[in-house]
Amino acid sequence: MRFVAVSALAGLVAAGGAVGAAGPWEGGRRVAERDRAAAGADRPDGRGEARPDGPGRLAAPPVLLGAGGRGAAREAGPAGLAAALEPLLKDPALGDRHSAAVYDAATGKRLHGSDEGAGRTPASTIKLATAAAALSALGPDHRVDTTVVTDGDDGIVLVGGGDPTLTARDDAGSGPQRAASLKELARSTARALKARGKDRVRVGYDTSRYAGPALHPIGTDENLAPVSALMVDEGRLDGSDRGTAERSTDPAADAAEKFAGLLRDEGVGTEGGVTSRRAGDRAERLAAVSSPTVAALVERTLTYSDNDIAEALARQTALASGQEASFEGAARAVTARLDALGLPGAKIADGSGLDRADQVSADLLARLLVRAAEPGRPGLRPLLTGLPVAGFTGTLRGRYGHEAAGRGLVRAKTGTLTGVNTLAGTVVDAEGRVVTFAFMASGTGDADAAQRALDRLAAKVADCGCRS
């Protein structure tokens, strides 16, 4: 029986990395949550308070347990799982329309379904589809460049490539996944100009890589800046790096103004104000900086439910697929990539899930995570390593305070809109088996109660042996 359990874990552990080894993003870095648990890290609850379950230690089961620790893995029994989940699915907190799908990650066998094929508004769980499409289209190692070119005379153009994490802050991080720095770009540009004997230039900026409206259909919103090929720090105006924030109404022009100021700091004068113009076909590159890899961007998107990066990934997918980099072109490109993965039937309206016109089924989300666990698809692993960990990281950090069975074992993408609550991810069950799940609820009246109901469902899967 031990062999069965090890086989079930192989798709996630061997290729995706154990949770502690790969870890999702935390404070700008990927951190092993097993180390956090071992160190007794306190977990803030929904009120922002630390709630240790013991003196100096957070009580949580090991993140991945072998078969010997929680029982020998057996062939999954759908009847047993159905008996465990169906009473919880009747919780009124889940609203008038809800669905569920649970799959064995190793075998791809569906263990449970409840209205699983019905299209529902996914909210931010649509980011799983966006991320999978981007990884398929671009590859996990792809990076997005922001460049400066000269098109003759005394003019230069800052050309946006579509990297919303480009930063104008002093600290861009360290290591291979550090953010691209606008200051470094200005410094390199100044060196190149001075080498040409130029110490004064006109500055333009080019956002032509993207097309269509920049404003999301929901309008101006603190959850998302206007979608532009050129922006710094996601257009945030308050110094934050996640969550809601006041945003620039013209992130491209603001980025160009900052760049011009940084050039002046480097001893290169600028003439007039910055202007929007397209770089010529024969423009010569002077300098460039690169974003973190698509894999790293996917992980950050999923861990913190980052809407700006999600929309950028959708547009990069469009560009790689020969589509126009607009909301419509990105929707077509993401849909095509899902179809190629054998996951048809999605209705995609945006990359972030803020648009209620998005429609996917619980079955599609759960099967998408099975695809990410398949040994033959290592490029999709960031879908798994980027999932928040219950009670420890990202959007699940403040949840699972009362669902100890799921804490540390549930890894899931959250989704929340008014009246919509969703959860899709992976969990290690009581027999050491890795399963994928998606729970979707529409028509909910109390978001907190709906989230608790979803957490109970995932925790029940963790606590269940899945036997009839």
Active site residues: 124, 127, 305
Residues 146/166, Cβ–Cβ less than 8 Å? yes
Q: 319: which residues sit within 8 A by CB, 6+ positions away?
A: 162, 209, 325
3-state SS string for 244-294: CCCECCCHHHHHHHHHHHHHHHCCCEECCCCEECCCCCCCEEEEEEECCCH
Sequence-distant (≥ 6) Cβ neighbours of residue 145 within 8 angstroms: 161, 163, 288, 289, 290, 291
**Calpha distance 396→237 (Å, rounded):** 26
C-alpha count within 13 angstroms, C-beta hemisphere, residue 365: 36
- Short-list 125, 327, 134, 294, CA closest to 213: 327
Residue type, 148: V
Pairing of strands 200-206, 275-276: parallel
> How would you classify the pairing of strands 269-270 and 200-206?
parallel
C-alpha dihedral sign at 227, 233, 238, 241: positive
Residue 421 near residue 454, CB atoms below 8 Å: yes
Q: In terms of residues, how long is the chain?
A: 468
